[in-house]
Amino acid sequence: MKPDVTAFFDEATNTVSYVVRDPSGSACAIIDSVLDFDNAAARTDTSSADKIIEFVRSNGLSTEWILESHVHADHLSAAPYLQEKLGGKIGIGANITTVQETFGKVFNEGTEFQRDGSQFDKLFEDGDSFHIGQMRGDVLHTPGHTPACLTYVIGDAAFVGDTLFMPDFGTARCDFPGGSSETLYNSIQKILALPDETRIFVGHDYKAQGRDHYAWETTVGEQKELNIHIGHGRKLEDFRKLRDDRDATLGMPRLILPSIQVNMRAGNMPEPEPNGDIMLKLPLNKL
């Protein structure tokens, strides 16, 4: 089964969102949507999500799933907005509860912030399957970047979120709370065990040295051969050193504090203040 995949690239956050369609019908899933956010003004905007809505409607598609590969730290999710406009169930990995525990503390959330994943419609475990129309999707738990990262394998296409990037860019950072380069290495081996011809769709692209255009589609075979961090059968110890050394040089993503506060709530904003305004927190010296 070869799903039809349409990518939507958000240059402001280097994020790729996908609409995945059952070629034998009108059912689709939306993976890793973006709610635009002007950080300086703390202003949200739905331009990116509206492009997806326009695409779904103009092609007569019915949205069955709105999937998150993980709790993103670099962009806000538009899942609730898409759900309101298009329907569909919002899904994420069951280990979201670990992320909610960790960041519930960071943001000093009260008991009104549930740490049980109940903000989402579906919590996927490793090995779960689901359907988009007649098309089956399989869930691989691929932690390492975060504890809740999933890879969605739908027909011949794998949506790997932030585990692997394009072969010339490498892999995701592992220095967020609950991240681990050793865990990421083992997760990537699960992805590389898929057939070589499996199409891989990555969650971000930043171009790469010597490449002046954005790209987001590759294959398992190409990753095995060419990935600059993990290709050529790189051993665990070598990968760990390379990854950990590189992570030690990286600053925090520009939108990490607003993103996590919103995304750990399935893309919903915190409860408004008594005057009706919504506030996000900036915990000092925590990250």
**Contacts to Fe ion by CB under 5 A:** 72, 162
Question: According to DSSP H, which parts of the chain are helical?
Answer: 47-58, 79-86, 96-106, 181-192, 220-226, 236-247, 256-263
Minimum gap (Å) between residue 118 Cβ and Fe ion: 22
The Cα–Cα gap between 256 and 261 comes to: 8
Q: Smallest distance from the beta carbon of 173 to Fe ion, in angstroms?
A: 8
Least distance to Fe ion from the beta carbon of 22, Å?
A: 27
Closest approach of Cβ 162 to Fe ion, in Å? 4
Which CB atom, from 64 or from 162, has the smaller least distance to Fe ion? Answer: 162
**Distances in whole angstroms, Cα of residue 97 to Cα of each of 39, 58, 86, 145:** 27, 36, 26, 16
| DSSP strand pairing (217-219 vs 43-45) | unpaired
Task: Copy the structure tokens of residue 237.
Answer: 């110890």
Sign (positive/negative) of CA torsion 229, 235, 236, 241?
negative
Of 92 and 132, the one with the shorter C-beta distance to Fe ion is 92
Tell me which residue has its CB nearest to Fe ion: 162
C-alpha distance from residue 118 to each of 91, 113, 123, 235 (Å): 11, 10, 9, 39
In this complex, which beta carbon is closest to Fe ion, that of residue 66 or of residue 174? 174
Q: Looking at beta carbons only, is 132 or 174 nearer to Fe ion? A: 174
Contact 54, 270 (CB under 8 A): no
Nearest distance, CB of residue 11 and Fe ion, angstroms: 17
Residue number, 147 or 167, with CB nearest to Fe ion: 147
